[in-house]
Chains A and B, each alone.
Chain A
Amino acid sequence: MTKRIGEVILSFTNISLSFGGVNALTRIGFDVKEHEIRAIIGPNGAGKSSMLNVINGVYHPQQGEIVFRGKARRGMNTYESAKSGIARTFQNIALFKGMSVLDNIMTGRNLKMRSNFLLDALYWGPAQREEIAHRKKAEEIIDFLEIQHIRKTPVGRLPYGLQKRVELGRALAAEPAILLLDEPMAGMNVEEKQDMCRFILDVNDQLGTTIVLIEHDMGVVMDISDRVVVLDYGKKIADGTPDEVRANQDVIDAYLGVAH
């Protein structure tokens, strides 16, 4: 089983972000290569989520440079980020509660849809054809994530673990180049975690999606990531393969510090 890790597609240099004087991120720099699983770990409050928010344009760093596919960007907003192929999930599930699983996943396809509201209103010809073409894609994702049985269930009624899976599905529906996962395994039991790991690996493996994930649980991350960045108090303290990171004294200190 060999992985085809490619070139760097996303890199950060000197990223600093602060909120009203509080530094969330201080001069962070690392890169993400195509097709790899890149983890960002760190104790609570280390700035992991901020980092993710910087990547998909929710936050705009005060300093630093982001290069995505060879193009420098800083002020990219969330829409542009989505358009350029970055999809994400959220730490606290951000599904559309009033909609069914299928509809949630269909929303993920919105950027690929061309039809306008007038055609939608007629639900005829190109609009219907498009809707059905996308439905098929959505169904493939449903199949992939093994959530056939809840296809038409409103997401609000699903248990937590399944909601997380649906959220992953919604992100996948966008066929992203980079998938950002914000604590995909938070709050799950062992079995659900295993399932989620399997899905993440499958996504990476079968769709070739580059994955950047944040996780609190170090064990899981080390098993599935290719490279790991460790943040603590908004600063990068380590970067490397799981084995390298595991051996890093700063990391051990940081985690032990949290454990106390």
Chain B
Amino acid sequence: MQFFFEVLIAGLLSGVMYSLVALGYVLIYKASGVFNFAQGAMVFFAALTAVGLHDLGLSLWVAVPLTMAVMVVLGLVTERIVLRPLVAQPEITLFMATIGLSFFIEGLAQAIWGANVRGLDLGIDDVPLEWLLDHANMAISQFDLIAAAIAAAMVAALAIFFSKTKIGRALRAVADDHQAALSVGIPLHHVWGVVWAVAGFVALVSGLLWGARNGVQFSLTFLALKALPVLILGGFTSVPGAIVGGLIIGASEKLAEVFLGPYVGGGIDGWFPYVLALLFLLVRPEGLFGEKIIRRI
């Protein structure tokens, strides 16, 4: 039983990390209806830029805000060059465009910073908490706990941003109804620009955390694959969905791998979250917190 909890807690903690990545997708999808496949590339780009600047001798305190600025510019430019000309096109086209964008960003990142892998030390030791190890024989990494805290803080910050600031409210209006938002005079492009910038920020945070966890390297772009089932489960448009979905996916994938894996040869955490999400969707086609799709005739 103790082992079960250990796995569960580990799963929940990884789940938070997944949520963090998923959050970026949700923001953009919610505001502009674009499934931004390039979010993974953005995570990679953000992390690489921060580390690259750091390696040039800047302190993290300078490198991170600088990267933030770069991400905002990237977001705004993307909105202007890629999305605006494609407005009102089918979702799939936009989706494809973001894949093209991800190629571009991946190429750009490597062109600027090279293909070398880099380590990132945020100064948080990724070691099990001694106390827990000693008393409960549970290996819970303090890094994970801190990362979870950061993720939670982020969600809280986003919540405040959405509900308290003018632009945040505009964003919600846009998410609810593009037409309505237009008619009350909210500049749609402006809002989209902001959303992309915010998504860039989310990418930076997840890039830093994941980069510190696994090293800053191209494979960070694969994080998209971890975020997808979270999105399906939680719903593309729901911030709480991303969090809850992440927790469910994280926990279940670990439990499945540990307790189910050995019976089928293991390595199932690649597909298990997807199958889980799929089964879930069969029951609730719009995801956990997604808006119910009403079919009118």
Residues of A near any B CB (own CB < 8 A): 53, 58, 90-92, 94
Contacts and interface: CB of A to CB of B under 8 A. Distances in A.
7 contacts: A53-B297, A58-B297, A90-B297, A91-B297, A92-B296, A92-B297, A94-B297
Nearest to A91: B297
A227 to B, nearest CB: 25
Interface string B254-297: 00000000000000000000000000000000000000000011
Nearest to A58: B297
Contacts of A92: 296-297
Q: Which 7 A-B pairs have the closest CB atoms?
A: A90-B297, A94-B297, A58-B297, A53-B297, A92-B296, A92-B297, A91-B297
B180 to A, nearest CB: 19
**Dominant SS among interface residues on chain A:** loop
B296 to A, nearest CB: 8
Interface in B89-128: none
A56 to B, nearest CB: 10
B208 to A, nearest CB: 45
Nearest to B297: A90
Contacts of B297: 53, 58, 90-92, 94
B295 to A, nearest CB: 10
Contacts of B296: 92
Interface of B: 296-297
A47 to B, nearest CB: 15
Contacts of A53: 297
A15 B296 CA distance: 21
A60 to B, nearest CB: 15
Nearest to B296: A92
A89 to B, nearest CB: 11
Nearest to A52: B297
A58 B295 CA distance: 11
A92 B296 CA distance: 9
Contacts of A91: 297
A90 B296 CA distance: 10
B280 to A, nearest CB: 23
B5 to A, nearest CB: 40
Nearest to A94: B297
A164 to B, nearest CB: 15
A187 to B, nearest CB: 16
Contacts of A90: 297
A91 B296 CA distance: 10
B93 to A, nearest CB: 15
B143 to A, nearest CB: 47
A33 to B, nearest CB: 26
A71 B296 CA distance: 29
A90 B297 CA distance: 7
A58 B296 CA distance: 11
A94 B297 CA distance: 8
Nearest to B295: A58
B109 to A, nearest CB: 39
B44 to A, nearest CB: 37
Contacts of A58: 297
A53 B295 CA distance: 13
A94 B296 CA distance: 10
A227 B297 CA distance: 26
A4 B296 CA distance: 36
A101 to B, nearest CB: 21
A186 to B, nearest CB: 14
A89 B297 CA distance: 10
A91 B297 CA distance: 7
A244 B296 CA distance: 34
A244 to B, nearest CB: 31
Nearest to A53: B297
A119 B119 CA distance: 61
B133 to A, nearest CB: 52
A130 B297 CA distance: 31
Contacts of A94: 297
A90 to B, nearest CB: 6
A30 B297 CA distance: 24
A90 B295 CA distance: 13
A58 B297 CA distance: 9
A80 B296 CA distance: 20
B6 to A, nearest CB: 44
A92 B297 CA distance: 7
B293 to A, nearest CB: 16
A64 B55 CA distance: 76
A58 B76 CA distance: 46
B89 to A, nearest CB: 15
B199 to A, nearest CB: 32
B230 to A, nearest CB: 30
A184 to B, nearest CB: 15
A250 B296 CA distance: 30
B177 to A, nearest CB: 18
A133 to B, nearest CB: 31
